[in-house]
Every structure is written in structure tokens, then in C-alpha cells.
Chains A and B, each alone.
Chain A
Amino acid sequence: MSILISADTKILVQGITGAFGAKHAQLSLDYGTQLVAGVTPGKGGQFFEHAGHKVPIFNSVHEAAAATGATVSVIFVPPPFAGDAILECVDAGLDLAVCITEGIPIKDMIRVKRAIAGKKTRLIGPNCPGLVTPGTGEGSKGGCRIGIAPGYIHKKGHVGIVSRSGTLTYEAVFQITSKGLGQSTSVGIGGDPVNGTSHLDVIKLFNEDPDTKGIILIGEIGGSAEVEAARWIKANCKKPVAGFIAGATAPAGRRMGHAGAIVGGAEDTAAAKIAVFQECGIEVAATPTDMADALLRAAKAKGVSLS
């Protein structure tokens, strides 16, 4: 088991003919992901070829989904067109749209989020690394890799990871794998202030997934998403949870790379979020190096095996 995606999930790529989209489509194919279609308006009828794979390209998400049965899209289109790409997935009734694109105007995302409220399609991102459900092959091949995360650092297992930051997700994944454990699914929800799926949404899914035995929650300064997740965990989640918050030394009012990583007041600082984590029984990692160990401490305290 896993959350959101499994080895059988069929995905399509919006923006497969761009350099960035093409590179990661290739890596997903190499990983063994069921990448069944590409979408680039005006290039329908062509094929995306890589290492023996011949992936058909369609003019629209509707056509691609109807012809191939794809239920998930990963979006690599440039920022001015990315909002439109998300809406197209929703209109086509996909289960999941994963938007990798960084730099979408906030106003576009405010409008997109308003437009997709109540619709079937779940949005992950934007400005996110995507998600990985590892497979059982060498270097976790045979799993489902959606986005830009390195597949080979994963290992099939029982730790769920959710983070706003790509590289910190990889750190956590790598540490868990290095300890001989593995991941059920790792999810990057993105660093923008307006995004689709929240920390809490993913935590709820991990909580319900019988195959996820422990959770690493990685957050950063800005907003209150981590605090909401932590309070829900305290009230509802019996699984061991470790947490880390980046940005303790960030000066107030400056955006630290991520559009959403900005201290706005006293409540969205790293110190304030860490205090809430501690209050909610989340084992806090003092440094990023400590993330896997923190989860092991939390698991030991609850008498839970993560393997």
C-alpha cells in the first residue's frame, strides 16, 4: 500500500516536449513508472521516444486521458500557462494533478484554487518536487515516480514523508533508506503560499494508510499549515511522527527562496512552529541530519517497528 499513487498508476505529462519535462519523463520511464501519455497543444499525433518506450502525445488532457486511461497528470509547463494546465486536468476529471512549475503568480493560484474547490481532482503543488511511491526493484525501480525527485534514493517501506521543500525531502528519504528502512510514499507539497494539498491533507492520508507506520513532517517558516497539521496529529494520529522546521535564522520579512518561506509575524517563525510540534507530541529533529533518528526515537517511545 501507499498513498495517492501506486506502481499501477497511469500518468500523463503536460509539457513533455519541453527540456525539463522531457528529462524527467525519461527518468520516470527508467524508474518503471506507467508514463502513458504526453500533452503538448499542437503536437498531438507525435511520439515521445526514449529507451524503447514510445509514448503518444496528445493535444489535450481530455484526449490523452480518454485514449490511455491516465488518471494523474504531472505539469511542467511554464508559469504563465501553468494555472490553465491545472484547470484542464480538473476539467478532464483526473484524480490528481501534480504541478512542478515554479514561479506561478500568486493571483493565478488564488483564482485556480477558487475554481477547483469542491472538484474531484486533487492538486499537489505548485513549485513542488512531486511524489514517489517506491517499487521493489533495484534502486526502488518499478515504483511510481511523479515529478523531479531522485528515484534511486528511495526504498520500499513504511515511512511516510511530507515536505514543502524538495531537497529536504531527499535528505529525509536518504536517511531513512540509509538506515535500512523505506518509504510508503514521499510527498513534496511545494513551497508556494497558495498550494493545493496541505501538510494536513497528506498527514490524514498517511494516518489512514495501513502500510505507513511512521511519519516525517518537514516544514518551514511562513503560514500556519504545519501548526494545523500538528494540532490534528495531537488529537487524531497514533502513529509516531517526527518533525523538522527550516528557517530558524531567516530574517523577518525576507522571502527565503520559496515564495511562501517568509516570516510574517510572531506565529509563523520556526521557533513558534517547533514549540507547537513539541506541545503536540511530535519528536523534533534539531538539525536536518537528525530527521530519521528523530523518527526512530518517536517509534521507540511508542513501541512501533518501522520495518
Chain B
Amino acid sequence: MNIHEYQAKALFEQFGVPVPKGAAATSPEGFVTALASLPEGPTMVKSQIHAGGRGKGTFTDGFKGGVKFCKTKAEAADIAGKMLNNTLVTIQTGPAGRKVQTIYFTVASDIKKEYYLAVLLDRASSRPVIVASTEGGVEIEKVAHDTPEKITKVVIDPAYGIADFQLRQIIAALQLTGAEAKNAAKLIKNLYTMFWETDAAMVEVNPLITTPAGDVLALDAKVSFDSNALYRHPEIVALRDLNEEDPKEIEASKYDLAYIALDGNIACLVNGAGLAMSTMDIIKHYGGNPANFLDVGGGASKEKVVAAFKIILGDANVQGIFVNIFGGIMDCNVIAEGIVEAVKEVGLKLPLVVRLEGNNVAKGKETLAKSGLALVSGDTMADAAQKIVKLVA
């Protein structure tokens, strides 16, 4: 689960990670209150959406920049008015962009130097890792590719937590001394504590900055959480912003269906995550474009299949459906009955290719045949994929 920058920074403050003073607002009236809480002077205006590349983004009305520097608070209020309820397109949003519904104002900091800092899972060691670099404010992937020696990784022993000598390693790599070193060490330690205590999946600060006064501040904040652990963090769940999620994905989550919307036109309904991924792949392999990832799970009921059908048909781009089921334990006939039921309820006008294999497959195929539905059967996954691609083309 992702949260907004202003929410992440509130958490930072709670854990003792210094950030520039700021306030968020969702309306022009709110701008007045928010700005009143900040000192007069240079102010940053930041669009709050769950996507990176905001600064270089463009709004659909042509206004450029989702993050702006303003010399005065009055100018900040004016710029915020241009961003609010406007749709911002960045390299991460896709062409449709995201509607900006919250504006975050912060004091514009004096920047001495920018750094990069993150805490995430190191999969190779199955431990948390702190990633730090002297190259901040740029894309870390690019730094990793061009100058890997400028990135330091320190793996943390979860049984002990971050050790002081490790903090010294990171500080040395960032070439910080004096008050900056002391402030940075405290910040890094607190950031790690926040990562660990909140069950975060990733905490990224890009840039982390030093100021001429010797302060060390998190200028930006990107935080995501392990969804498996949300059950023990109601305070994090409360930060979820449904405006940032695809309505179809929200609907799917109600039925415990793993669904991810994509931009193609062939909808998929599959059991199992690996099979669902490779169903998308095989559609692409034969020249088609998948409209979604959808895993109905191992124990799908008829109701779940019906709900899944309604969700994939709610996507206006869909021009055909590919049902791919390997019923290991799952009864193929249950799936077949679900399909028949769903088609009866929603009325299907699109081509439908079904590949059923596994447990009770003969009965499942019989149910489909008897239903009189205009569907096409595929023998193997490859055969079925080719058929749906052809029908949609």
C-alpha cells in the first residue's frame, strides 16, 4: 500500500526524522489555513499523487510542473489553485494522468547538497538494507547503472537492528562530518526504526539534504507498506487514499480477487498468480494485448467467478475474454457453472475463449457445451491464446 508524501512526512516527524515545515490542503479555503501555519517567504507547492516524476510532469491543461518553487506565500496560493483538481501526467502515471486532490505546501529549504537514502528488503539476504548515495535528487537507477561505486548498501541484522558502526559506515560513504554527520546518523537510525516498526516495504528519501546551517532534512518521502502486515496497523490503513486506486481494483479486493488493470483489450480470468502472469505473457506472445492480471485464487467459488466476470467487463477497452483454468484441486465444473451464471447475469456480447484442464474437466466442458453459450474452446493454453488473439484482431 502506498501513501502520499505529506502523510509519509507526518510519519517521519513522529519517528524523529526531520522534514521541512509543511501543511496540506484540499481546497482554496484550506490553502489559506495551511499557508497561515508557515512562515512568510519562499514556499514549495507540491501536488500529492501516488506517482513519481511530479516536478517534470505536465497538467492536461498545459500547465507545467507538479512541484513548484514560489517566492511568496501569495504566489504559492495562486499556483496551488492551478494544480488543484487538475490532472497531472508524469512518466509514472501513464497518459491518463492523476487528478490532484491534495496540495502540500512546505518551506523552501536552502540546499547545500543533495543525497539519496532508502531502506528496503534485500531479497538476496532476506534482511533489511540501507541504500545511501552522495548522488541525490536524481534517478537512483541511473546512478546504479552509471556510477555503481557511488552507492553504498548496508545490510541490517534483524536480530540486533542497525548498529552504530554501520551508521558510521554510511556517514563515511556520504562524506559527512561534524554537525551534519551527527544529525544524519540520528536521522538514519530513526528512519530505520520507522521502516521496521510500521512494516514498511520501502522508505525512500530522494533527496535527503544538508543545509548551510548544518541541518539534515528529508526533502521528499516515498513510503510503501507490506499489505500482508496491514492487519496490525489500523493507523496505516487509515492513510489509504481510494482516489489513487483503480475502481476495478478496489471492487476486486472486496472479493479477495487479485486484479491489476492494464491497457490492452483481452481480459483474462485465471487461477493462480504464476499462471495469470503467463496468460498475459502468452497473449502478448501471439500478438495480442492483455487488459488485466486476474487471479481468482485456488478455491474460487461460483460467486467469485461471477464477480470476476463483472469486473473485467467493467473495463470499456475489453474486446474479448480469455478464461484459463488449470483445476488442480479446484473443480473445473465449478468454474464452468460460474461462467454460465455470469454470462446469464451480465449478457455477453464479446468473444470468449475458455481453456479448462484438470480436475473434473469432462463435466466442466459438458456444462459449457450444454449451456448453448457462444464460446470457443481451447485445447492447450497456446491454442486458446491464439484463438482469442485472432477473434479480437
Contacts and interface: CB of A to CB of B under 8 A. Distances in A.
Does B associate with A?
Answer: yes
Nearest to A195: B126
B358 A153 contact: yes
Given A110-B126, A165-B275, A249 B280 contact: yes
A25 B101 CA distance: 51
Given A167-B326, A224-B123, A287-B281, A106 B229 contact: yes
Nearest to B328: A150
B295 interface: yes
B382 A290 contact: yes
A20 B284 CA distance: 35
B354 to A, nearest CB: 16
A75 B17 CA distance: 40
Nearest to A163: B274
Interface in A276-292: 286-290
Interface residues of A, number: 65
Interface in A153-189: 153, 163-168, 170-171, 174
B376 interface: no
A248 B289 CA distance: 12
Contacts of B260: 251, 254, 256
B273 A258 contact: yes
Most chain A CB within a 10 A radius of its CB, from B126, B277, B280, B293: B277
Interface in B98-132: 121, 123-124, 126-128
Interface string B247-282: 000000000001010100000001111111110111
Given A149-B328, A258-B274, 19 more contacts: A105-B199, A105-B229, A105-B232, A108-B229, A110-B121, A129-B328, A148-B329, A220-B274, A224-B123, A246-B275, A248-B285, A256-B276, A257-B272, A257-B295, A258-B273, A260-B123, A266-B145, A287-B281, A290-B382
Q: Which 6 A-B pairs have the closest CB atoms?
A: A165-B274, A257-B273, A167-B272, A105-B229, A167-B275, A150-B328
Contacts of B162: none
Interface of B: 121, 123-124, 126-128, 141, 144-145, 157-159, 196, 199, 201, 226-229, 231-232, 258, 260, 262, 270-278, 280-285, 290, 293, 295, 298-299, 326, 328-329, 357-359, 380-383, 385
B228 A168 contact: no
A270 B358 contact: no
Most chain B CB within a 10 A radius of its CB, from A110, A164, A270, A286: A110
Contact of A248 (B126, B128, B284, B385): B284
30 contacts: A79-B228, A105-B228, A106-B201, A114-B158, A115-B159, A129-B328, A148-B298, A150-B329, A164-B274, A165-B272, A167-B270, A170-B358, A171-B275, A194-B123, A194-B126, A221-B277, A247-B278, A248-B284, A248-B285, A249-B277, A249-B283, A249-B290, A250-B280, A256-B293, A257-B258, A259-B228, A261-B273, A265-B141, A287-B385, A288-B282
A270 to B, nearest CB: 7
Given A113-B126, A114-B159, A249-B281, A193 B274 contact: no
B281 A104 contact: no
A98 to B, nearest CB: 16
